[in-house]
Structure 1
Amino acid sequence: LAHASGDDLCDLALNKDAGAVVCGAIEEEYYHYLRWKRVDVLDSVVGPVDAVLERLRRGELRAGDVLFPREA
């Protein structure tokens, strides 16, 4: 997208028949709209994209997950 607006991102998710949207943050109105359209919204997720996608694929990703490796 040339610019990321909430409306455009919702339209994209719905046009692509996305079952889930994973994001770091989302405005409440878009969250409720996507949930109303039966799209799972996993917000407050941070970490490397490969780790996020792997956990999503396994059905283990949850809203609020922080997937950065812990430093000793």
Structure 2
Amino acid sequence: MKKTDHQITPSSSGKILIVLHEDDVAPRFDLALGLFLAEVSADGAISNERTLVLPQSSAENLCRLLLTEKITVMICGGIEQEYYDYLTWKHIKIIDSVIGDYHWALRRFADSRLSSGDIQRPV
């Protein structure tokens, strides 16, 4: 699994995808069956939100969907180095090792406060 420590701001993004397991960021990219997609503007405004359910988990199909949808940032839990390298080569920025509710992750991203390795703490 790949771990990075850089922060990505909404101003560097357009379309965002979060891999889901119920209401949480999926712990593994390659096993995700749910996806949350949205557009995040430079000022952090979120628009065009939608959720997709996949018929089966497939890292290859998910990579294809990321490219087809012109996703610029993906938020996930763990991701294998092979897929991380491929997606970053395709200019998709990855915020990985994120653990928590996807609404929390989206808000932190929109506020330019989400980094790889962030974990949602109980309040």
CA drift of 1:5 comes to 1.0
Amino acid at match of 1:33: Y
For the residues of structure 2 that align with 1:69 and 1:38, how far apart are their CA atoms?
A: 34
What does residue 89 of structure 2 align with? 36
Relative contact order higher in (CA < 8 Å, ≥ 6 apart): 2
Which has the larger share of strand?
2
TM-score scaled by length of structure 2: 0.54
Please identify runs of 4+ aligned residues in structure 1 that moved more than 4 A. Answer: none
Name structure 2 gaps, 5 residues minimum: 1-53
Deviation by residue 1:27-58 (Cα, 9 ceiling, x = unmatched): 11000000001101111101111110001112
CA drift of 1:4 comes to 1.4
- Over aligned residues, Cα RMSD in angstroms? 1.1
Secondary structure of 2:74 counterpart: strand
Secondary structure of 1:21 counterpart: strand
TM-score scaled by length of structure 1: 0.88
Pair 1:53-2:106 in alignment: yes
Name structure 1 gaps, 5 residues minimum: none
Which has the larger share of helix?
1
Pair 1:15-2:68 in alignment: yes
